[in-house]
Amino acid sequence: MIVTVTMNPSIDISYPLSSLAIDTVNRTDQVTKTAGGKGLNVTRVIHDLGGDVVATGVLGGFHGAYISEELNKAGIKQAFTSIKEESRDSIAILHEGNQTEILESGPTVSSEEQTTFLETITALLQQADIVTISGSLAKGLPTDFYQKLVQAAHTEKAHVLLDTSGESLISVLEGTAKPFLIKPNLEELEALLGQRFSLSEMETLQNALSQPLFEGIEWIVVSLGKAGAIAKHQEAYYRVTIPEIKVVNPVGSGDATIAGFAYGLSQGKTSEDLLKLSMAAGIANAQEKQTGHVDPANVAAHFNNINVKKI
Ligand code: ADP
């Protein structure tokens, strides 16, 4: 079983407008509302691929109930901790080729709610061999909260796939329990290391992954958008290149990448196939209108067109 963790889920609201008028009323009848937050995108894609997945995290208020209902409708198993404060909205206004976003910081999780969540995930981890942790922490949770989750997963011998950035990533990297995989995109890696990389100098990027900060992490996948990925597995390095595609909506492709990897791991795939499956899921997500959704037939078709080269 795969457990996905989303500590700050949201209702993702998208308003496509032909133009955005400032300081006046904008009307639309074309709204879409979906259960969002990076971890829920991962969940949906694992479910689309046919994986056995349970979503956990915290949900609160009417927004929380809506998210829970959306997961139910999709037939996705869930084990969320209820919190007092309201889960958030994330608003994207799509206008004139631009994406203007308004992102609420979301609810504060109390220390009692934290304890309840930790009890829930500890129970889930006893039945899970893979756990994905994605996105930002809700307010009220300590910076080292993900490190606590990684430790709990280690105790239960579950593999942790971690996709976060900033302080919560640094805290995990500096901790004693290491995740099985991290998946920074290029921007996140640059922010983490305070260094710029050029795609024409892959060697510099490759060298960056061998620093002591990453010691003990089995897999590092640096996703590079349409340029594919560079990956490190133990002492081996891979350059993964992907076909050129017509993009519909690339938001959530990183989450689909994590989902593809988690699903592949649950199926006992080889290193090369794990990379192919994760890239194929990322590409297939970029070809869908809905964020965090793939057509498994499309994933299978892309799988055969991905090139994995040891470097
Ligand atoms: P994130 O969403 O975390 O920023 P990326 O943008 O690197 O992650 O996307 C993750 C993966 O999804 C890429 O490695 C690639 O396989 C696929 N992908 C993303 N954007 C594109 C694109 N424009 N064309 C083709 N594949 C893409």
Q: Which of 220, 232, 218 is nearest to 189 (CA)?
A: 220
- The reply to whether ligand 1 has any atom less than 6 angstroms from the CB of 10 is no
Q: Tell me the angle at which helices 253-266 and 38-49 cross, rounded to the nearest 10 degrees.
A: 50
Is 270:305 a contact under the CB 8 Å cutoff?
no
Residue with CA nearest ligand 1 atom 10: 254
| Burial (Cβ within 10 Å: 0-12, 13-18, ≥19) of residue 231 | buried
CA 170 to CA 177: how far, in whole Å?
13
What is the mean pLDDT of the segment spanning 220-244? 96
What's the chain's average pLDDT?
96
pLDDT at residue 235 greater than cutoff 90:
yes
Place of tokens 């055969």: 304
What is the mean pLDDT of the segment spanning 136-145? 95
pLDDT at residue 114 greater than cutoff 90:
yes
What is the per-residue pLDDT across 154-175, written as a single tens digit (0 to 9) for each? Answer: 999 999 999 999 999 999 999 9
117 pLDDT tier (thresholds 50, 70, 90) = very high
- The reply to whether ligand 1 has any atom less than 6 angstroms from the CB of 247 is yes
- Classify residue 246 by its DSSP letter: -
Catalytic residues: 255
Q: Which helix (H) or strand (E) holds 194?
A: none
Percent of the chain beyond pLDDT 90? Answer: 93
**How many Cα atoms within 13 Å fall on the side-chain side of residue 261?**
31
Q: Which of 197, 283, 303 to mutate to test the pocket of ligand 1 (most atoms within 8 A of CB)?
A: 283
Residue 90 in 3-state DSSP? strand
Give the pTM: 0.95
Distance 250 CA to ligand 1 centre (A): 7
What is the per-residue pLDDT across 79-89, written as a single tens digit (0 to 9) for each? Answer: 999 999 999 99
pLDDT at residue 249 greater than cutoff 90:
no
- The reply to whether ligand 1 has any atom less than 6 angstroms from the CB of 225 is yes
- The reply to whether ligand 1 has any atom less than 6 angstroms from the CB of 185 is yes
Residue with CA nearest ligand 1 atom 11: 282
Residue with CA nearest ligand 1 atom 16: 279
User: Radius of gyration over alpha carbons of the chain, in Å?
Assistant: 19
Q: What does the CA dihedral 186, 223, 298, 41 come to, rounded to 10 degrees?
A: -80
